Amino acid sequence: MRLALLGSPVAHSLSPAMHRAAMAHANLTGDYEARDVDRAGFSASLGEIRSRILAGANVTMPHKQTANESCDRSSDRAMRVGAVNTLVLKDGELYGDNTDIDGVRAAWATGNLPDEWPVVILGAGGAAGAALLATRDRPQYVVARRPQQAGALIERIGVDATVMSWGPRIPRGVIVNATSLGMRGETLPGHVLERARGLLDMAYGEGTTPAVATLRDRGIPVADGLDMLVGQAVRSFAIWTGIEVESSVFRRGAAEELLKRSQSGTRVVE
Protein backbone atom coordinates (compact mmCIF):
# COMPACT_ATOMS: atom_id res chain seq x y z
CA MET A 1 0.00 0.00 0.00
CA ARG A 2 1.10 3.56 -0.71
CA LEU A 3 0.63 6.35 1.79
CA ALA A 4 1.78 9.96 1.79
CA LEU A 5 2.21 13.12 3.80
CA LEU A 6 0.91 16.19 1.94
CA GLY A 7 2.09 19.68 2.88
CA SER A 8 4.85 22.24 2.56
CA PRO A 9 7.50 22.03 3.84
CA VAL A 10 7.71 18.29 4.58
CA ALA A 11 11.28 17.33 3.63
CA HIS A 12 12.34 16.76 7.23
CA SER A 13 9.14 15.28 8.62
CA LEU A 14 9.48 12.27 10.92
CA SER A 15 6.19 10.81 9.70
CA PRO A 16 7.69 8.66 6.90
CA ALA A 17 10.12 6.96 9.29
CA MET A 18 7.37 6.36 11.84
CA HIS A 19 4.84 4.90 9.42
CA ARG A 20 7.43 2.81 7.59
CA ALA A 21 8.33 1.28 10.96
CA ALA A 22 4.66 0.54 11.59
CA MET A 23 4.21 -1.01 8.15
CA ALA A 24 7.22 -3.26 8.69
CA HIS A 25 5.91 -4.25 12.13
CA ALA A 26 2.51 -5.13 10.64
CA ASN A 27 4.11 -7.03 7.73
CA LEU A 28 2.58 -4.67 5.17
CA THR A 29 4.35 -4.03 1.87
CA GLY A 30 4.42 -0.53 0.46
CA ASP A 31 5.74 2.89 1.35
CA TYR A 32 4.94 6.21 3.02
CA GLU A 33 6.39 9.25 1.28
CA ALA A 34 6.55 12.94 2.10
CA ARG A 35 5.25 15.11 -0.73
CA ASP A 36 5.99 18.83 -0.79
CA VAL A 37 2.90 20.06 -2.65
CA ASP A 38 1.28 23.38 -3.49
CA ARG A 39 -2.48 23.67 -3.91
CA ALA A 40 -2.40 22.10 -7.39
CA GLY A 41 -0.19 19.24 -6.21
CA PHE A 42 -2.47 18.70 -3.23
CA SER A 43 -5.49 18.46 -5.52
CA ALA A 44 -3.67 15.96 -7.74
CA SER A 45 -2.85 13.82 -4.70
CA LEU A 46 -6.52 13.80 -3.70
CA GLY A 47 -7.22 12.40 -7.15
CA GLU A 48 -4.75 9.59 -6.45
CA ILE A 49 -6.66 8.69 -3.29
CA ARG A 50 -9.95 8.69 -5.18
CA SER A 51 -8.44 6.40 -7.85
CA ARG A 52 -6.86 4.18 -5.16
CA ILE A 53 -3.28 4.89 -6.26
CA LEU A 54 -2.79 6.13 -2.71
CA ALA A 55 -4.39 4.18 0.13
CA GLY A 56 -4.52 7.32 2.24
CA ALA A 57 -2.63 10.40 3.34
CA ASN A 58 -1.76 12.64 6.23
CA VAL A 59 -2.16 16.37 5.72
CA THR A 60 -0.05 19.06 7.32
CA MET A 61 0.24 22.82 6.90
CA PRO A 62 -0.88 24.65 4.87
CA HIS A 63 -3.52 22.26 3.53
CA LYS A 64 -5.52 21.08 6.57
CA GLN A 65 -8.40 23.48 6.02
CA THR A 66 -8.44 22.82 2.28
CA ALA A 67 -8.54 19.09 3.02
CA ASN A 68 -11.63 19.58 5.17
CA GLU A 69 -13.31 21.55 2.40
CA SER A 70 -12.36 18.96 -0.25
CA CYS A 71 -13.76 15.86 1.44
CA ASP A 72 -17.03 14.26 0.46
CA ARG A 73 -17.52 13.46 4.12
CA SER A 74 -15.64 14.34 7.31
CA SER A 75 -15.86 13.18 10.89
CA ASP A 76 -17.84 15.34 13.28
CA ARG A 77 -14.68 16.32 15.12
CA ALA A 78 -12.88 17.35 11.93
CA MET A 79 -15.84 19.52 10.94
CA ARG A 80 -15.91 21.15 14.37
CA VAL A 81 -12.19 21.88 14.32
CA GLY A 82 -12.37 22.93 10.67
CA ALA A 83 -9.27 20.92 9.72
CA VAL A 84 -8.48 17.44 8.37
CA ASN A 85 -5.13 15.71 8.83
CA THR A 86 -6.04 12.17 7.73
CA LEU A 87 -7.59 11.16 4.40
CA VAL A 88 -8.87 7.80 3.21
CA LEU A 89 -11.35 6.45 0.64
CA LYS A 90 -14.36 5.07 2.51
CA ASP A 91 -17.32 3.54 0.65
CA GLY A 92 -16.16 5.28 -2.50
CA GLU A 93 -16.05 8.71 -0.84
CA LEU A 94 -13.09 10.84 0.18
CA TYR A 95 -13.30 10.81 3.98
CA GLY A 96 -11.44 13.09 6.36
CA ASP A 97 -10.67 12.87 10.05
CA ASN A 98 -8.62 14.84 12.55
CA THR A 99 -6.36 12.60 14.60
CA ASP A 100 -4.61 15.57 16.22
CA ILE A 101 -7.27 15.18 18.93
CA ASP A 102 -6.01 11.64 19.60
CA GLY A 103 -2.50 13.08 19.57
CA VAL A 104 -3.34 15.59 22.31
CA ARG A 105 -4.88 12.90 24.50
CA ALA A 106 -1.96 10.54 23.97
CA ALA A 107 0.58 13.26 24.75
CA TRP A 108 -1.35 14.15 27.91
CA ALA A 109 -1.04 10.56 29.11
CA THR A 110 2.60 10.22 28.04
CA GLY A 111 3.59 13.38 29.90
CA ASN A 112 1.41 12.53 32.91
CA LEU A 113 -0.07 16.01 32.70
CA PRO A 114 -2.41 16.86 35.58
CA ASP A 115 -6.18 16.84 35.09
CA GLU A 116 -7.10 18.97 38.10
CA TRP A 117 -5.89 22.28 36.65
CA PRO A 118 -7.57 24.44 33.98
CA VAL A 119 -6.30 24.13 30.41
CA VAL A 120 -4.76 27.34 29.01
CA ILE A 121 -4.46 27.13 25.22
CA LEU A 122 -2.17 29.54 23.37
CA GLY A 123 -3.36 30.17 19.81
CA ALA A 124 -6.63 30.06 17.88
CA GLY A 125 -5.92 27.89 14.83
CA GLY A 126 -6.62 24.26 13.99
CA ALA A 127 -4.15 22.93 16.57
CA ALA A 128 -5.89 24.98 19.26
CA GLY A 129 -9.20 23.55 18.10
CA ALA A 130 -7.91 20.00 18.48
CA ALA A 131 -6.76 20.84 22.02
CA LEU A 132 -10.16 22.33 22.86
CA LEU A 133 -11.98 19.18 21.77
CA ALA A 134 -9.52 16.85 23.48
CA THR A 135 -9.76 18.65 26.85
CA ARG A 136 -13.39 19.77 26.78
CA ASP A 137 -14.16 18.11 30.13
CA ARG A 138 -12.00 20.69 31.98
CA PRO A 139 -12.15 24.46 32.48
CA GLN A 140 -10.59 26.03 29.37
CA TYR A 141 -9.06 29.37 28.43
CA VAL A 142 -7.95 30.40 24.95
CA VAL A 143 -5.22 33.04 24.89
CA ALA A 144 -4.99 34.68 21.48
CA ARG A 145 -3.72 37.84 19.83
CA ARG A 146 -6.94 37.89 17.81
CA PRO A 147 -9.79 37.38 20.30
CA GLN A 148 -12.45 37.37 17.57
CA GLN A 149 -10.80 34.39 15.89
CA ALA A 150 -10.64 32.57 19.23
CA GLY A 151 -14.31 33.31 19.89
CA ALA A 152 -15.32 31.97 16.47
CA LEU A 153 -13.29 28.80 17.08
CA ILE A 154 -14.93 28.21 20.46
CA GLU A 155 -18.40 28.76 19.00
CA ARG A 156 -17.79 26.36 16.10
CA ILE A 157 -16.44 23.63 18.36
CA GLY A 158 -19.19 24.10 20.92
CA VAL A 159 -17.23 24.25 24.17
CA ASP A 160 -17.59 26.57 27.14
CA ALA A 161 -14.18 28.25 27.04
CA THR A 162 -13.09 31.75 28.02
CA VAL A 163 -11.19 34.00 25.61
CA MET A 164 -8.27 35.99 27.00
CA SER A 165 -5.97 38.49 25.34
CA TRP A 166 -2.26 37.73 25.16
CA GLY A 167 -0.74 39.23 28.30
CA PRO A 168 0.58 38.58 31.81
CA ARG A 169 -2.74 37.87 33.52
CA ILE A 170 -3.38 34.30 32.42
CA PRO A 171 -4.67 31.64 34.83
CA ARG A 172 -2.50 29.00 36.43
CA GLY A 173 -3.01 25.73 34.64
CA VAL A 174 -1.70 23.30 32.07
CA ILE A 175 -0.38 25.34 29.15
CA VAL A 176 -1.00 24.03 25.64
CA ASN A 177 1.23 25.82 23.16
CA ALA A 178 -0.71 25.63 19.89
CA THR A 179 1.43 28.33 18.25
CA SER A 180 4.69 28.05 16.30
CA LEU A 181 6.72 29.57 19.17
CA GLY A 182 9.56 27.17 19.93
CA MET A 183 10.05 25.62 16.51
CA ARG A 184 13.07 27.84 15.83
CA GLY A 185 14.48 28.01 19.31
CA GLU A 186 12.19 30.70 20.78
CA THR A 187 10.87 30.27 24.30
CA LEU A 188 7.45 31.09 25.68
CA PRO A 189 7.17 34.35 27.66
CA GLY A 190 8.37 34.17 31.25
CA HIS A 191 4.95 34.94 32.72
CA VAL A 192 3.48 31.98 30.83
CA LEU A 193 6.09 29.59 32.20
CA GLU A 194 5.61 30.95 35.72
CA ARG A 195 1.88 30.14 35.58
CA ALA A 196 2.37 26.66 34.13
CA ARG A 197 1.41 23.61 36.18
CA GLY A 198 2.08 21.43 33.16
CA LEU A 199 2.91 21.95 29.48
CA LEU A 200 1.98 20.36 26.19
CA ASP A 201 4.23 22.07 23.65
CA MET A 202 2.93 21.13 20.21
CA ALA A 203 5.86 22.90 18.55
CA TYR A 204 9.10 21.06 18.07
CA GLY A 205 12.16 21.53 15.96
CA GLU A 206 15.75 20.61 16.65
CA GLY A 207 15.26 18.53 19.78
CA THR A 208 13.70 19.81 22.99
CA THR A 209 12.09 23.24 22.87
CA PRO A 210 13.30 25.83 25.40
CA ALA A 211 9.93 25.87 27.17
CA VAL A 212 9.93 22.09 27.65
CA ALA A 213 13.54 22.14 28.88
CA THR A 214 12.86 24.97 31.35
CA LEU A 215 9.80 23.39 32.93
CA ARG A 216 11.32 19.91 32.97
CA ASP A 217 14.24 21.33 34.95
CA ARG A 218 11.73 22.77 37.43
CA GLY A 219 10.04 19.40 37.87
CA ILE A 220 6.87 20.45 36.02
CA PRO A 221 5.17 17.69 33.93
CA VAL A 222 5.70 18.21 30.20
CA ALA A 223 4.79 16.62 26.88
CA ASP A 224 6.14 17.71 23.52
CA GLY A 225 5.27 17.79 19.84
CA LEU A 226 6.79 14.37 19.22
CA ASP A 227 4.52 12.86 21.88
CA MET A 228 1.56 14.35 20.02
CA LEU A 229 2.86 13.29 16.60
CA VAL A 230 3.18 9.70 17.78
CA GLY A 231 -0.34 9.71 19.20
CA GLN A 232 -1.96 11.02 16.05
CA ALA A 233 0.10 8.66 13.88
CA VAL A 234 -1.15 5.61 15.78
CA ARG A 235 -4.74 6.57 15.03
CA SER A 236 -4.11 7.52 11.39
CA PHE A 237 -2.43 4.18 10.74
CA ALA A 238 -5.42 2.35 12.23
CA ILE A 239 -7.83 4.32 10.02
CA TRP A 240 -5.91 3.32 6.87
CA THR A 241 -5.16 -0.30 7.73
CA GLY A 242 -7.55 -1.41 10.47
CA ILE A 243 -4.46 -2.48 12.45
CA GLU A 244 -3.64 -1.17 15.92
CA VAL A 245 0.13 -0.82 16.27
CA GLU A 246 1.69 0.06 19.63
CA SER A 247 2.93 3.62 19.99
CA SER A 248 6.40 2.28 20.89
CA VAL A 249 6.83 1.12 17.28
CA PHE A 250 6.23 4.64 15.94
CA ARG A 251 8.43 6.17 18.62
CA ARG A 252 11.25 3.75 17.79
CA GLY A 253 11.00 4.68 14.11
CA ALA A 254 11.25 8.37 15.02
CA ALA A 255 14.19 7.77 17.36
CA GLU A 256 16.12 5.84 14.74
CA GLU A 257 15.54 8.60 12.20
CA LEU A 258 16.61 11.30 14.65
CA LEU A 259 19.79 9.37 15.42
CA LYS A 260 20.53 9.00 11.72
CA ARG A 261 20.08 12.73 11.20
CA SER A 262 22.23 13.68 14.15
CA GLN A 263 25.03 11.50 12.81
CA SER A 264 24.74 13.06 9.35
CA GLY A 265 24.23 16.61 10.61
CA THR A 266 20.77 16.92 9.06
CA ARG A 267 18.56 19.59 10.62
CA VAL A 268 15.33 18.40 12.18
CA VAL A 269 12.34 20.48 11.17
CA GLU A 270 8.68 19.36 11.29
The radius of gyration computed from the CA coordinates of the chain, to the nearest angstrom, equals 18
Side chain identity, residue 49: I
- Among 19, 63, 64, 197, the one annotated catalytic: 64
Is residue 38 within 8 Å of residue 62, measured between CB atoms? Answer: no
- Our answer to whether residue 90 is catalytic in this structure is no
Nearest to 30 by CA among 216, 237, 196: 237
Nearest to 171 by CA among 117, 219, 124, 123: 117
Residues 6+ apart with CB under 8 A from 161: 121, 132, 140, 141, 142, 154
Side chain identity, residue 117: W
Which residues have a catalytic role annotated? 64
